[in-house]
Amino acid sequence: MLAYVEQLIELVASGRGIGAVLAQVTKGAAELLGNHADKYALHMKGMHWPAHSAPPFVLAFSLSPRGGDFLKGVPHLLMQAINSQTSKLLFGGTRKTVNFKSHADKGLAVWWHENYKLILDSLGICFYLGMSLLNHGKLLPSHLAAA
């Protein structure tokens, strides 16, 4: 199996055979394949989005300048109901906000996460570390302000 993966990587890197199609990424590959493949190409603004298609993520991808970018304003705090108190404290999250399957009341959460990500980037802190610690009440904005 590994040999096939290595061959495929080589084909994509060199732009030969099927690699020339795959190198165009989701939107471009679907356009090259034709035959209505674009109906099945999951992307936003040309960028493939991760497997997350829950309402808060779709809103974040829509607002991201790059499209399906899971490293921008994706509201990670909404992924676990245990974070409802933290969401309420940080950006006034309501029961509607923390309902992961609902479209209601997600704008402020996405806005807050975009700004939180900006601060982490400015301080050189790994986004995943920041989001992991934030779930446990660490690396709150007040902590980051002190930095």
Tens of pLDDT along 14-72?
999 999 999 998 889 999 999 999 888 888 888 777 666 677 877 888 887 777 777 77
Mean pLDDT confidence for 107-115: 91
Looking at the chain, how many residues does it have?
A: 147
Listed by start position, the domains of the chain span 1-41, 51-146
Average pLDDT, the chain: 87
- Residue that the structure tokens 């980051």 belong to: 144
Give the model confidence (pLDDT) of 35-50 as tens digits: 999 888 888 888 777 6
pTM: 0.73
Residue 53, pLDDT score: 67
CA dist 2 to 7, 30, 32, Å? 9, 26, 27
Separation CA 24–CA 5 (nearest Å): 18
Distance CA 135, CA 99 (A): 17
pLDDT value of residue 127 = 87
Question: What is d(CA 110, CA 142) in angstroms, rounded to the nearest whole number?
Answer: 19
